[in-house]
């Protein structure tokens, strides 16, 4: 296969440093001239900022046309990749599950409906659908959401009513045992768990496992601020200590705290009378518990009488199920009777969510995708099994175990490690797959959409570069594909760790490097070429 040839060439090619090449006083080959050009540009860019020079940089620029590297810097060293880890997750999922893979969400019961009464529990079963929300698919240029955010859950409640259920003499159960109950990735920071980007992972995910909090001024100075929740579900106990300040008294000062595992949300600070409002998306502690509460409320609002309580059903990692087994058959693995499916909803195709994951760097969706690998292709429904399944794909792509160490699917973990060379091998492999065009199109396009919408707006790389970004404290990443002005097709990976730059400062330096790589024609020819269509 072409990908194997690329990988073999990559492993076999030995690089001599640019300084050694310059001192050899031999005729310089065209490829070496390109290497020297990029090396000179990278050196100048990194030397322009003292904090950049003190950081740890890794670069690999690889020609998809010749199957060999063009330029390398620390390409075999290990770096924290941040959200570049999503490349590993999405490529593995497309390989093992295929672009059209779909999962489903069901409403089930082990009982029967007799004269409108359901004998037994009513069970909402999640199987990892990340888009039970108002998110509009397919993603096009920006995130769009329709309201209400729990509209799809409302539709399931309507279907239950249409099945003739008027009384549930058991509990309303939200079952997320399709995945073992491992809410957070290994190495996630406690500080992340309050916010949208650190939302817990559950096979039953509603609205990205977040709710939207709005704080607006009270009626007069000194009054408590007003709190609005969307969806309006009283899941958290809110301790509101935010006070309304006089108009023109300065900027708002608001703090939020929730201890891990707690259902008390504490808000404090001040908000001026003339403030338009503070908005934040906050994570839900137990998504299945939240789903059970929301679903029960929807059913009762439709006149269904619930005799029992609402509750979540989890599966501990110690009780993990063999892969490929369905909660419909096993009842969560607790020797329950077979269940009858009352209502079923199919998810969108995997490729639609891969586009969301890569365009906007959606952490939760990446984690759900990883865990689907464990259930569908691993030995158990655990994260560990998912990572083992992923390793099989990476080996197929030519990656060696020493070139990466991954513990989650999103890159939020500080324990993840990859080399620039490993990222490029993965990209070369992906470029040779049947789904390559769709995968490439899932990456943010320079100056156009996703996390690159505001980058590369005016340079040579505009519309010619598709890449996954990555950001953590002191970490930035940019890896993907580009077509140069001279028509060369490249895969690349830029990783920087341990920097004291601002995130925007690090991004600007990366952008300068890639502008230099893409801009490989004499200046007189650039203006006409910049309008060329991307490929």
Q: In whole angstroms, what is the distance from residue 286 CA to residue 298 CA?
A: 19
Q: Residue 390's closest CA among 366, 412, 414?
A: 366
The gap between the terminal CA atoms of the chain, to the nearest Å, is 22
Q: In whole angstroms, what is the distance from residue 423 CA to residue 417 CA?
A: 11
Q: Residue 240's closest CA among 262, 256, 263?
A: 256
Is 83 a residue of the active site?
yes
Q: For the purposes of burial, counting CB atoms within 10 Å of the CB of 430, is it exposed (0-12), middle (13-18) or buried (19 or more)? A: buried
Q: In whole angstroms, what is the distance from residue 511 CA to residue 196 CA?
A: 27
Q: Scan for tokens 């953590």, then name that residue.
A: 472
Q: In whole angstroms, what is the distance from residue 200 CA to residue 260 CA?
A: 11
Catalytic residue, candidates 63, 72, 133, 361: 361
Q: In whole angstroms, what is the distance from residue 530 CA to residue 508 CA?
A: 20
172-175 vs 310-313, strand pairing mode: parallel
Report residue 426 as tokens: 């993965």
Runs of H (alpha helix) within 275-419: 287-301, 327-330, 350-360, 363-377, 383-396
Would you tell me the crossing angle of helices 363-377 and 350-360 to the nearest 10 degrees?
140
Catalytic residue, candidates 3, 39, 83, 479: 83
Q: Calculate the CA 33 to chain-centre distance.
A: 38
Q: Give the three-class secondary structure for 489.
A: strand
Going across the sheet that includes 56-63, the strands are: 68-73, 56-63, 489-497, 475-483, 465-472
The full DSSP string for 391-410 is: HHHHHHTT--GGGEE-S-SS
Q: Residue 316's closest CA among 409, 126, 177, 200?
A: 177
Q: In whole angstroms, what is the distance from residue 480 CA to residue 534 CA?
A: 14
Report residue 201 as tokens: 């992972």
Q: In whole angstroms, what is the distance from residue 533 CA to residue 333 CA?
A: 54
Q: Calculate the CA 167 to chain-centre distance.
A: 40
Report residue 31 as tokens: 């490829």
Runs of H (alpha helix) within 302-341: 327-330
Q: Give the three-class secondary structure for 457.
A: coil
Catalytic residue, candidates 39, 86, 202, 377: 86
What are the backbone angles phi and psi of residue 38, rounded to the nearest 5°? Answer: -70, -40
- Provide the sign of the torsion angle of the four alpha carbons 330, 334, 335, 338, taken in this order: negative
Q: Give the three-class secondary structure for 141.
A: coil
Q: Which amino acids are annotated catalytic? A: 83, 86, 361
């Amino acid at each position: 296969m072409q990908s194997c040839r690329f990988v073999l060439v990559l492993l076999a090619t030995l690089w001599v440093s640019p300084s050694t090449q310059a001192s050899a006083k031999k005729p310089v080959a065209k490829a070496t001239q390109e290497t020297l050009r990029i090396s000179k540009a990278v050196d100048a860019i990194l030397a322009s900022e003292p904090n950049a020079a003190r950081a740890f940089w890794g670069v690999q620029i690889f020609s998809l046309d010749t199957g060999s590297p063009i330029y390398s810097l620390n390409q075999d060293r290990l770096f924290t990749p941040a959200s570049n880890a999503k490349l590993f997750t999405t490529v593995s999922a497309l390989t093992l599950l295929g672009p059209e893979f779909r999962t489903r969400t069901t409403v089930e019961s082990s009982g029967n409906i007799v004269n409108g009464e359901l004998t037994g529990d009513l069970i909402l079963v999640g199987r990892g659908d990340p888009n039970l929300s108002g998110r509009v698919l397919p993603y096009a240029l920006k995130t769009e959401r329709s309201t209400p955010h729990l509209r799809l859950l409302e539709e399931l409640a309507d279907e239950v009513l249409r099945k003739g259920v008027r009384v549930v003499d058991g509990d309303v159960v939200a079952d997320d045992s399709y995945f073992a109950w491992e809410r957070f990735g290994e190495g996630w920071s406690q500080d992340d768990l309050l916010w949208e980007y650190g939302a817990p992972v559950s096979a039953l995910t509603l609205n990205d496992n977040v709710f939207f909090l709005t704080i607006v001024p009270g009626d007069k100075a000194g009054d408590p601020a007003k709190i609005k929740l969307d969806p309006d579900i009283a899941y958290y106990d809110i301790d509101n200590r935010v006070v309304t300040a006089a108009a023109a008294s300065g900027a708002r000062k608001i703090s939020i705290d929730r201890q891990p595992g707690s259902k008390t949300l504490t808000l404090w600070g001040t908000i001026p009378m003339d403030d338009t409002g503070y908005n934040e998306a906050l994570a839900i502690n137990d998504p299945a518990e939240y789903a059970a509460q929301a679903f029960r409320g929807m059913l009762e609002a439709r006149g269904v009488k619930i005799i029992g309580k609402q509750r979540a059903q989890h599966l501990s990692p110690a009780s993990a199920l063999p892969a490929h087994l369905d909660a419909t058959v096993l009842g969560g693995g607790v020797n329950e009777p077979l269940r009858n499916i009352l209502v079923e909803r199919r998810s969108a195709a995997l490729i639609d969510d891969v586009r969301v994951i890569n365009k906007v760097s959606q952490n939760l969706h990446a984690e759900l995708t990883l865990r689907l690998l464990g259930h569908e292709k691993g030995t158990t429904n655990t994260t560990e099994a998912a990572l083992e399944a992923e390793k099989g794909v990476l080996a197929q792509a030519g990656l060696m175990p020493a070139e990466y160490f991954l513990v989650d699917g999103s890159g939020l973990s500080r324990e993840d490690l990859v080399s620039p060379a490993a990222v490029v091998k993965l990209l070369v492999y992906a470029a040779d797959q049947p789904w390559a065009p769709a995968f490439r199109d899932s990456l943010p396009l320079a100056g156009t959409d996703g996390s690159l919408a505001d980058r590369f707006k005016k340079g040579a790389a505009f519309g010619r570069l598709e890449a996954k970004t990555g950001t953590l404290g002191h970490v930035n990443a940019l890896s993907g594909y580009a077509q140069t002005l001279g028509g060369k097709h490249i895969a690349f990976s830029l990783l920087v760790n341990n920097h004291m730059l601002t995130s925007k400062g690090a991004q600007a330096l990366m952008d300068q490097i890639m502008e230099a790589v893409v801009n490989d024609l004499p200046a007189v020819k650039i203006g006409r070429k910049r309008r060329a269509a991307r490929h």
